[in-house]
Each structure stands twice: as structure tokens, then as C-alpha cells.
Structure 1
Amino acid sequence: MITKNYRIADRVVSVSSIYDEVHSYCSEYLTDEEAEYAVVTSREDIDYERRKSARENELEGLPVREYRDSYLEELAVYRKIAEKMPDYDTVLFHGSVIAVDGEGYLFTAKSGTGKSTHTQLWREYFGSRAVMVNDDKPLLRIGSGGVTAYGTPYNGKHRLGSNISVPLKAICILTRAEENRIVPISREQAYTMLIKQIYRPTDAVKMQKTLALADELADSVKLFRLGCNMDISAARTAYEGMNALTKTNFKAE
């Protein structure tokens, strides 16, 4: 086994793996600090990820793919980290977080809607003011002072992300539309999508904690729905709309 320590979302985890690729993947988060908890993978974990991936492809009508053991072990490590994080008031969220002037905005949507394309428009529009925090699986720590979004090694197929943390200002659900329009929504309107996109632990106690954290998340940040096209003006509409509406006592649709 190969063991190294990583600081992820302000927690230090010891990762012991069969394959070195796991550690190459996490190299930007390497630390020599003492670990607070440990993740150890096994051949059984790799086999579980293979079966799970096959089931998911089958449900989506996709051909079964043969994944490398090292890739499946990477999935196993991220899953074990996600299972532990509710202990630290933190959840893993499927979405794309971008920061502008040090404040984070999280975009989420059904698969294939264009989260990554939209945040790319932000990077084009804002230039150096915009920093990609994580393009796939950020961690969100939820507390009395608000929500903090963290970069993680698990940042999508294009590896877009940074080892940084930012205060999360808003969550925006993306939909496709011919014209760009952003509106505030209530927690009731957003809640189903939030629950779907949060990693849900298999442990019953941790699942209860995750649901409680989801409630806090919905109450801690402003929530929006953006109908957008793929023109760069969508970035301006989203940014200006979220900033204008978060400064006022708006009413959700």
C-alpha cells in the first residue's frame, strides 16, 4: 500500500491505496501535517466501483465500459472522503463553482445542461477576476457564518479547479433557454435539485446529518434559476442578476 496525507477542505486525511495514480491525482493537496482520519482502499472497493459504474451505464442505456483499476480506486477514495465529511459539517456537491473577486457562485443542473460551458463563459467574460474553484465535485462546509466552497482533487474530466476556498454567495440551477433570464427561487423550488446533487452517504446516521446540512445550505445562500443560452452575455446576466438580487429583499417566483 502507498500512504500519503492530504489537506482537503481544511481536514487532513491519510490515504492508503494500491495504485500510485490515486496520489498523482491528489498531488496538489499533499501535506506533511498529521492526519485527522484515514481512508484505506482495497480490491473489494475497486470491484464495488466497477459494479456500480456498470449499473449506472445500464440504467442510462449506455454501453458498459471497462475502466482501469486505478481509475476505479480514485472513485473509491473520493467516495470514502465524501462519506466522512458530514462529521465536519461538510458535504460533497455535484456542481461547478467559480469565484469572481473572491466570492463563489455554484452552478448545478441536470447532466448535459452545460454547467462547465457556462462557467467557461464566466472565465472569458471576467478574465483574471474569475478563478475556477472546482468544476465537478466541490466540498461545501456549512456553518453559522455561512457556506464555504472548497476546491478538491475531483474537479472533472478537464481538471478545472484550484486548491482554494471561497465564501459561497449563491447557488444557481441552470436550464437551457433561447434568452437569458435569471430569477430568485424559494428553498422549496430548489430543494429537490439540492438533495439530488449532494452526495448521500450509505450510513443512516451520516445520511440524517447530510439532510440537516442540506436544510442549512438552502437557508444560508441565495437560490436562483437561470435560463441561459451559450452566448457570453449569459455570464453577465447571471452575475449582475445574482448580485443585484442578493442586495435586496427579493421575492422568489
Structure 2
Amino acid sequence: MKLISWNIDSLNAALTSDSARALLSRKVIDTLVAEDADIIAIQETKLSAKGPTKKHLQILADYFPDYEIAWRSSVEPARKGYAGTMFIYRNSLNPTITYPEIGAPSTMDCEGRIITLEFDNFFVTQVYTPNAGDGLKRLADRQGWDIQYAAYLAELDAKKPVLATGDYNVAHKEIDLANPASNRRSPGFTDEERQGFTELLAKGFTDTFRHIHGDIPNVYSWWAQRSKTSKINNSGWRIDYWLTSNRIADKITKSEMISSGDRQDHTPIKLEIDL
């Protein structure tokens, strides 16, 4: 089975805009089409509460014929057009789809952050983890989220093996970002967020990229848009992950980044596993 995950940073912009960035985004979509994955997880769709429009659905159907779509958007009292997730999966698959709420702080459960696909022998679940925010103003809520999300994954894992993916908004170890020393209190690399991810893995999950590649350095999944040279200089962060239950880690055959060319921000990540 081949699975891909990508934080798209606005589905509408990627599909309908004529900006230079949107054209780069569509090149990435072309790459995903060529990958011919079974399941694609998309984060930060930024769609309205009503979800994809007819135009969006038609464009997606043109790109991905013979696939079904499951989506979840931010709804009141959360911010409009914020966060959001989507699965694109082969119509030969027949998952049970859930949109869990995990008892998260603030409006986080209303922000469209988790979708789960249940199959006979495993789960596939994606997450768009809340950012701790400028000035770490949302760090305490983020810590609460991490606790509740880890408990949710453990609950799934108690039933059957789990494949979990998404933008986790944390670089787990120093090797996972280019400049750890200058980012000690930056959102995504605080001790608190890193400890939260450590505790998540301790509940029985494997970071598939490190499982396959060990301590290979300088491989990242995100480069800041605000810096014109971040990608040229490979000054990146690895904050997007495919995790699996420990007991199926031996079935992983590939876990890697998919090139997004000149486009900064997130690059797609791929998992191949023999289930």
C-alpha cells in the first residue's frame, strides 16, 4: 500500500489561483497523480464550513478519477477558513470514516483537524496539529492537545494497528531542523512540544522515516516561506510524519519525502507498507 500526506496550505489557492505559488502547487499535484497512491491525506485545506465547492470537486475528480473524498472544515466557534483536512482515497477501498473530537482545549476540536479511516485490519488517521503560535501564546493549549491526541491514538491502537500521518508542527530532535540552537523557544521546537511527541511515540508508535533512514541529517519536510533562501540553503524543519504502530514497523518498505521542486512550505511525504 502506498500512502502520501501533504500540508497544501489552501486547497482553493492550489486548485484555482493563477499566482506563481499556485502554479508551483499544481506541479506538486501533478507529481502526486504520477505517484498513483492508494490514499492521500491533505492538511490545511482552509475551506469554508461547507467544504469543497462543485468547482473544487470537479478539479479534484479530473486529477484523481476513481477516487473518493472525505473532508472536514473548521466550524464555529472556531475561525472560518482555517485549518481543515481531507482524504483522497481509491474508490475500491471501503473505509468507515470518522471525524473524532478528542476533548481538546479551546476551539481545537472545531477546527477540522482529524479524520480517521477504519479498515478491516488497520486504521489510517491524519492530523493537522495546532501550532503553538507567535509568542507561544497557544503553547499551553497545544500541550493539552498533545495529551488528548496521544490518548486518542492509543485508543485506536488498542483495537488494531494504526498508520498516523500529518503536519505535527514539531521537529522532534535537533537533527530534525537545520538550526536548533537559534530555535530553542520557537513554535515547533520548544522542550514542551518535543516532549509531547516523545510521549506520543512512547505509547507504541514508530517514526517511520527514522526507522528506515536512521540518523540521516539534512532531510526536511518544511521550509519557511518568509525566507527567500530557506529552501536554496536547505534551512528546513522535519515536522511532517508517517507513524505506525510498533508491531507493524517491520512491514514498512519506504518512508521518504517527495520533491516539491522550487515550492517552499511543506513537501509531501510518502509511506509504503506491506499490509
TM-score by length of 1: 0.27
Specify the structure having the higher radius of gyration (Cα): 1
Bigger share in strand: 1
Bigger share in helix: 1
TM-score by length of 2: 0.25
